[in-house]
Structure 1
């Protein structure tokens, strides 16, 4: 599967949610799609799923536009954070309805996962707790067998054991039935080991797209006296800079270059660290 995003913007009445973003994703692969609340993640996922149209630009899957093209949309399963299912239907009716929409639906897998998550197929959706609703969404995503399967905060209300079950199932599914999984989550420390590629949206723009290998090899925090750090990172792509207590922290993309200098420290940058830095940057802008 190949997703191509070309110069996409999405505006609402008082806000530009996405600002001229362009990128390409190819699978099978597990993608970490990250960013703070308001970064534009859910807006983009709704666009990719054909639920809303772009203001400008185009999104295509294997060369076909995603908006208003039923054949393309049948190979995209979007499990949103909420409001995935009709409240008056039972779990069994919900899964049956989904089986009509997704041509590669795996009914046997759906039944197995009902037992894994201890869901009663006779229960109505309206009676389910948040955790049970999340479990039903997870079951739908895996059983859909859609070439592009999207999970947006898929485990709200689930305990640690159930979340670990989801991670195990994700790895198992990617081994047995490879596809393009897109996972958007705030539980980054838990999920980061699953990702093969990472995209970070920040304030409606694509800030970063790197494979996990590129991340570990090329993204580093440089800390120290401001003048020494500035000299050491000269010519490098700067992702973020912050000064605190006369110490400058700069997150940079080295592109394979070595960083040398006196009175500086080099530290690895985790995904969680990156989002913390971006949050600080956002607050600093708001204060100014």
Structure 2
């Protein structure tokens, strides 16, 4: 399964939620789609799911434009942060409707996961807690068996044990039924070990696309005396820097280049810290 995003812009009135982004996603793979609120993540996922159209550019799935393409959309399951289900329907009715929509629906898996998350099929969606609604979304995503399965903040209201259950199920499903999973979450430290590739959106632009194997080679924290750090990083692009008592920390795009100086130390940067630094940075970032 291959997603081609070509020069996509999405504007609302006078504001661009996405600004001429281009990239390729290819699976089976577990992809982390990351960024702060307002970065453009949900807009992109709505475009990919055919719920809205681009202002310009196109999104192709295996060569087919996703907007107004029912046959293509049946192979994409988008579990949004909210609003996935009709509140007047019961859980059983909801799963039955999904069964009709998704050609590869796994009813046996759906029933098994109802037991795992302790959901009563007779309960109406409107009477469910936030955690129960999240569990129903997780069940829908996994049982859909779609080639592209998207989870946007899938575990609102779930406790740590239930979130860990989701992570275990994600690994299990990727082993038994490989597909392209796209996971957008703010709980980055919890989920980061799952990601095989990382996409970071920042203010509507694609800031970074790297495999997890490439991550440490490209994002580095350089620490030491300010003059030593400045000399070591040269003209590398700085994401964020901070100086205290002549000691500097610079987060840089190393781009695989060797950074050498006997008076500095190099440290890896977590995904969570990266987003924190992005919220503080004041320079315009490249890709």
TM-score range, shorter chain: over 0.9
User: Which residue number in structure 1 is paired with residue 31 of structure 2?
Assistant: 31
Task: Give distance in 1, aligned partners of 2:212 and 2:95.
Answer: 35
Once the two structures are TM-superposed, the CA of residue 234 in structure 1 deviates from its matched residue by 2.0
* 1:32-71 equivalent positions in 2, closer than 5 A: 32-71=32-71
User: Which residue number in structure 1 is paired with residue 158 of structure 2?
Assistant: 158
Deviations 1:211-261 (Å, cap 9, x if unpaired)? 00000233211123333222212243x250223324433222333322112
- SS of corresponding position for 1:154: coil
- SS of corresponding position for 2:38: coil
Task: Give distance in 2, aligned partners of 1:34 and 1:218.
Answer: 17
The answer on 1:113 being equivalent to 2:113 is: yes
The answer on 1:188 being equivalent to 2:188 is: yes
Gaps of at least 5 residues in structure 2 are none
The answer on 1:91 being equivalent to 2:68 is: no
Task: Tell me the number of residue pairs that the alignment of Structure 1 and Structure 2 aligns.
Answer: 283
User: Which residue number in structure 2 is paired with residue 243 of structure 1?
Assistant: 242
Deviations 1:161-217 (Å, cap 9, x if unpaired)? 100000000000000000000000001111001000000001111000000000023
* 1:70-149 equivalent positions in 2, closer than 5 A: 70-149=70-149
- SS of corresponding position for 1:89: coil
What TM-score, normalized to structure 2?
0.95
- SS of corresponding position for 1:86: coil
Once the two structures are TM-superposed, the CA of residue 154 in structure 1 deviates from its matched residue by 0.1
* 1:271-282 equivalent positions in 2, closer than 5 A: 271-281=271-281
- Further displaced range: 214-223 or 175-184: 214-223
User: Which residue number in structure 1 is paired with residue 9 of structure 2?
Assistant: 9
Runs ≥4 residues deviating over 4 A: none
Distance 1:239 1:20, change over 3 A: farther
Gaps of at least 5 residues in structure 1 are none
CA RMSD of aligned residues (A): 1.5
Conserved 8 A contact 1:241-1:248: no
Task: Give distance in 2, aligned partners of 1:267 and 1:175.
Answer: 32
Task: Give distance in 2, aligned partners of 1:114 and 1:239.
Answer: 48
Task: Give distance in 1, aligned partners of 2:142 and 2:21.
Answer: 29
* 1:189-228 equivalent positions in 2, closer than 5 A: 189-228=189-228
What TM-score, normalized to structure 1?
0.95
Task: Give distance in 1, aligned partners of 2:17 and 2:195.
Answer: 25
Task: Give distance in 2, aligned partners of 1:222 and 1:270.
Answer: 14
